[in-house]
Structure formats: structure tokens, C-alpha cells
Homo-oligomer: A and B are copies of this chain.
Amino acid sequence: MSTHSDSEPTYTMRDVAQRLGVSPMTVSRALRGQRGIGEDTRKRVLAEVAALGYRPNKAARGLRSGGPNELVGLVVTNLANPFYSQLAVGVEQISVGYGARVMLGSTGEDPAVEREVVTDMVERGVDGLVVVSAGHDHSHLGGGPLRDTPVVLAASPPIGIDVDCVLVDDFGGTRQACRELIARGHRRIGFLGLPPSLWTGSERLRGYALALEEAGLPMDERYVSQGRGDSALAEEAARTMLALDDPPTALLAANNRNTVGALRALRDRRDGGAAVTVAGFDDIELADMLHLPLTLVSYDPVEVGRAAARLLFERQASPAPPPPRRVTIATTLVDHPAPR
């Protein structure tokens, strides 16, 4: 039985009603399991609905009932990054629990695109938004266009607006990693950073800087790069540092992309990179299977997504809007020795 395209009609509630000689209201009630309708009538209706393959139009339903559309918008920079795809998994897990679906939007880290995406989602009637913002200022998420649509910021705190957020311990995690490198005797530690315009960028740099300071080590600008979170650029930056007369003996990468860049930069060295220690923020799959040892600032991105979605739905459920809340996800330093 193949699906022919001979414009099979899309039935409406009235069609179902007419064939049964009842009013649309009866169909509506039967469909929603509302009480106040005869048991036999309900069965007749449901049978006809199944026979015709009628499907209610949820947009029309929402229009009239004014209730929530059971739809949350998820705005990220790039789903190909495992952090974001895992975040998405978390957001969806919680959302389905509330009967809601997730609408996706990628910004490519462009604030202008971010605004467009957010606006579009609001026009499409999302009940709330989980946003991983690319910019440092979030005023555009507060003013006119959003109105009542609640927003939860993930991975960065709200600036210029006052909304819920879920943070990762960027500062603490990076500081701990840097301390560990220092404890292992490293004195020249290169930092492969992110743009300071990103919250994660400035916080992780801050963790690195403080750990150095606490150890009485100088911060050498030649050992600090601020890339775009692109592994190729990070690799380039790492190579540059390692080509210095007094190269760093350890590299600390500010995110998973930069860790990959650092590893690549070490790949083809005479010693296979063994003379340089690498640490990085974010987990990396198969970190325990690499030819180099690797220390990672680890946490669960899925949980970040779950927490964000929970904040959204809790706010939606509460009659009196609670004050903005802030959830922080802890990090753990995990050591991955090389195999053998």
C-alpha cells in the first residue's frame, strides 16, 4: 500500500462530525477525553476518527484555547559541537516529560542571527526559550519582542536582562586544572582561550590567570591566545607557542575544540608531543584512548540542558513568577593516562 499523492483530503473536525450526524463539539469533546459525553457516542467518534485518519490541528487548537503551545525553542551556536548536541538531548528529555517539543535554531555565533532566530521562534509561539548566547550583552533577549516568553540562558549569566540561567563552573574548573598543571611542576603553561566577548571565554581565562597568580607565576602574553573556538585556529596558536624559544611545557585548552587543536599541534612532533602536557575544559570522547595523556575538566552537558528546561517549565507552572534563579553545574577534574 503506497502513499499516492492524489491529494488525499486533509479532514477537519467538521468532516468527522458530518459523517456521524453530530456536531463538531461532540467530536472535540470525544477527542480530548472530556467528560460529559455518552460512552457510546465517544466510541463512535473515535472509530470514525481512526477510520478517516483525521488528525486535529494543534495550531488551531492553541489559537482558540489560548493555552501553551507545548513548544520550547532551543538556540545554540552549532549543534555539531558535542556540548550543544548533548545539551539538546537534556532539553528534550525534560520537555517531552511536559508534553512539549523542541524547536531548533543555530546561530553560528552571530548575534544578529541569534536575534532573528529568537524573534522567529517567538512568532511561532514557543512557550519558552533556552538560549546559549554568543554575545556578552543580552538586552535583545529582554525587551519588546519577547514579551512574556520566558528565557533561560545556558552557559552564560544574563547581562542586561534578568532571567534564569544555568552555568558551568567555568572559573573554578579552569583554575583547578591550571593548579594541577602547576602542581606537576609546570611553570610555563600556554592557554588556548576563547574570545573574551564570550562569558566562558573570560571566565576560563580568569581561572587560568588566578591559578598562575596564586602560584606566584607571571602571566606571559605570548602564552595566551584567544581564538574563536575553532580547532584549526587553536592548533595554529599552539604551534606558534611551541615554536617559541622558551615554549610552554603544558597547554591548557579552554574548550573541547581547543583541546583537539592542542592535540593536533602535538601530533607530528619528533617526540610525538610527549614532552608537553595537555589539559582542557569539556569532555572528549575516547580521551582515555589517545596516544597522549590528557587531563580534562569534566561535567555533564546533558544535565545542563535538563536543568535549563526544568527552570523553564517550573517558571511556566508557577502562578507568581519566581525571581530569576541561577543553577551551577559542578565540574570534576579527570585524569586520563595514555594507554599501555
| Bound CA span A121–B292, Å | 46
Contact yes or no, B89 A79, CB < 8 A? yes
Copies per assembly: 2
B contact residues around A3 at 8 Å (CB): 142-143, 146, 161-163
Contact with B along A323-340 (1 / 0, CB 8 A): 000000000000000111
A284 contacts across to B, CB distance below 8 A: 286
Q: Are B272 and A144 in contact (CB under 8 A)?
A: no
Pick the contact of A104: B56, B80, B104 (CB < 8 A).
Answer: B104
> Which listed segment binds B: A38-46, A59-67, A203-211, A244-252?
A59-67
What count of chain A residues pass the 8 Å CB interface test?
78
> Which stretch, A16-24, A122-130, A172-180, A188-196, touches the partner chain B?
A122-130
Within A79-98, which residues are at the interface with B (CB < 8 Å)?
79-80, 82, 84-86, 88-89, 92, 96
Report whether B103 and A144 are in contact in the complex, using a CB–CB cutoff of 8 Å.
Answer: no
Closest to A288 in B: B267
State whether A161 touches B103 (Cβ < 8 A).
no
- Report the bound CA distance from A124 to B148 in whole Å: 22
- Whether A103 and B103, one on each chain, are in contact in the complex, defined by CB atoms closer than 8 angstroms, is yes
A285 proximal to B (CB < 8 A):
yes
Complex Cα distance A340/B270, Å?
A: 8
Between A52, A79, A321, the greatest number of chain B beta carbons within 10 A of the residue's beta carbon is seen for A79
Are the CB atoms of A161 and B2 closer together than 8 Å? yes
Asked if A291 is at the interface of the complex by the 8 Å CB criterion, the answer is yes
Q: A62-B59, A69-B59 are in contact. Are A143 and B101 (CB under 8 A)?
A: no
Closest to A256 in B: B285
Q: Are the C-beta atoms of B260 and A286 separated by less than 8 Å?
A: yes
Query: In the complex, are the beta carbons of B124 and A101 less than 8 A apart?
Result: yes
Residue in chain B with minimal CB distance to A81: B85
Tell whether, in the assembled complex, residue B103 and residue A291 are in contact, meaning their CB atoms are under 8 Å apart: no
Q: Which of A157-188 contact B (CB under 8 A)?
A: 160-163
